[in-house]
Amino acid sequence: MAVHDKGPTGPDESEEPVVRDKRKINPETGDARPDADQTAASDDLIEAEGPDVELSDEDAALLAEAERDLVGEYRDRAARAEAELKNFRTRVERDRLANREAVIAEVIRTLLPAIDDLDRADAHGDLTEGSPLAIIAQKMRAGFDRYGLRHIGQVGETFDPQLHEAIVQIPTAGVTVNTIADVIEPGYALGERLIRAAKVAVSVPE
């Protein structure tokens, strides 16, 4: 018995091929056809978004309250952040001024021996008006005054252990409180910063 080879098995010859018309112009009307891909994407987007949902009055009220709470919380955070920034700037400015004052005080402290020598020379009459040394002393004092340097210790002041250093104590009749009788070495202060305490002789009650 003979066997006829019909070749490899293939699609049914009776099945008709599917033809997709991808032309962008409708041949019958001549109008442009909508983009099939764009139409499908729009349909998917609508399907993904789902139908519109209407909220009940109670749910809408809860949603509005939640939104108000959220807005209030963000406002509080913004106010706290602004206050913290203001405090930070204040601290930075205060520290900057304190550091500047400390540097100036240190420079003045190193020049105090020269100031003392000028004061002694002036007390002995060595700083005659118009002399080079007198001009130098005048310029130095003017520069220190510009930074707010002030003397500490005057005869007749009440003794203050935070500002004065008692070198000698002199019992004196009629004195009720410790009083500066003489200034041995003047003290100096820059603002509220004490650079050097004044060395003084103090009259004390007998």
For 205, the enclosing helix (H) or strand (E) is strand 198-205
Q: For each of the chain's 206 residues, which pLDDT tens digit applies?
A: 444 444 555 445 555 555 555 555 666 665 655 554 555 555 554 455 555 556 677 777 777 778 887 888 888 888 889 899 999 999 999 899 888 888 888 988 999 998 888 888 888 887 778 788 888 888 888 888 888 888 899 999 999 999 999 999 999 988 899 999 999 999 999 888 899 999 999 999 98
206: Cα within 13 Å, side-chain hemisphere: 3
Eight-class DSSP state of 24: S
CATH number of 150-206: 2.30.22.10
Strand locations in 42-100, DSSP E? Answer: none
Q: Map out the domains of the chain as residue ranges.
A: 59-147, 150-206
Which residues are CB-neighbours of 26 under 8 A, at least 6 positions away?
A: 32, 33
22 phi and psi, to 5 degrees? -100, 15
